């Protein structure tokens, strides 16, 4: 069963998500979080200064936004962890991420983010709120997900996400078959980055290859 603490965080999380969709209202929030005691908990959140409620209008306060931001970040990082590292079945990711998010502290969130290579989005494409670790590019923990350019020669890697500096690059790379989930092998670094994809070979500029992040496999003999 959902505990009161979980319900509190679920309401803040979904208020953030609905706000992203420009669909936040009392009706939408209650329809999204269908749990006993949700209305009473919204009243508590209002009393604590985390939500502003005026009839159907609901708004996160600055303090509420801070708390909601952490829960959303924890959920989306947990989804990345379960998908990219643990390779959990997609049908199980959402429910398990919802369980994990309540146990992830801000410090642990930064460690997970660093481990995952500071991913910009969750597996479903939703933006992951940035943390202090992203701004300072912490490297105390060896990332489990690396830029493609950091793969060892002859090593396999599975693309986990693409963070293009220019939006048009995403469609260009997709047209070449370079999308999350695809496995590649690095066969050359200079003068261009050369990849093997099944029976195909692709040559990329280094600045383009740096936009592609992979989970490394073992180097091939």
Summarised one tens digit per residue, pLDDT across range 108-139 is: 999 999 888 899 999 999 999 999 888 765 55
Peptide bond into 132 cis (omega under 30): no
- pLDDT range class, residue 198, cuts 50, 70, 90: confident
Domain 146-219, what fold?
A: SH3 type barrels. (2.30.30)
Peptide bond into 191 cis (omega under 30): yes
With pLDDT > 70 as the criterion, what percentage of the chain qualifies?
Answer: 93
pLDDT number for residue 138: 53
Domain 66-136, what fold?
A: Arc Repressor Mutant, subunit A (1.10.10)
Q: Using one digit for the tens of pLDDT, what is the confidence trace for 57-75?
A: 999 999 999 999 999 999 9
- pLDDT range class, residue 220, cuts 50, 70, 90: very low
Tracing tokens 């947990």 back to the chain, one arrives at 78
- pLDDT range class, residue 85, cuts 50, 70, 90: confident
Question: How far is the C-alpha of 194 from the C-alpha of 204, rounded, in Å?
Answer: 6
Asked if residue 7 lies in contact with residue 60, where contact means CB atoms within 8 angstroms, the answer is no
pLDDT number for residue 140: 54
Q: To the nearest whole number, what is the mean pLDDT of the chain?
A: 88
């Amino acid at each position: 069963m959902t505990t009161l603490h979980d319900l509190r965080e679920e309401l803040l999380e979904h208020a953030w998500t609905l706000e992203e969709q420009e669909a936040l209202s009392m009706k939408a929030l209650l329809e999204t979080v269908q749990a006993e005691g949700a209305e009473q908990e919204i009243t508590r959140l209002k009393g604590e200064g985390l939500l502003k409620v005026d009839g159907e209008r609901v708004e996160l306060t600055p303090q509420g936004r801070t708390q909601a931001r952490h829960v959303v970040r924890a959920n989306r990082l947990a989804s990345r962890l379960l998908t990219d590292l643990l390779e959990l079945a997609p049908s199980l990711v959402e429910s398990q991420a919802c369980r994990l998010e309540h146990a992830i502290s801000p410090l642990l969130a930064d460690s997970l983010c660093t481990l995952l290579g500071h991913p910009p989005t969750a597996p479903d494409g939703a933006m992951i709120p940035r943390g202090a670790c992203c701004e300072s590019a912490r490297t105390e923990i060896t990332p489990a997900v690396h830029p493609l350019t950091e793969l060892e020669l002859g090593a396999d890697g599975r693309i986990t996400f693409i963070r293009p500096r220019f939006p048009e690059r995403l469609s260009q790379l997709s047209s070449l078959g370079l999308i999350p989930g695809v496995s590649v092998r690095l066969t050359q670094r200079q003068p261009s980055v050369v990849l093997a994809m099944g029976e195909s070979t692709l040559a990329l500029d280094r600045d383009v290859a740096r936009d592609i992040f992979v989970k490394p496999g073992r180097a091939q003999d």
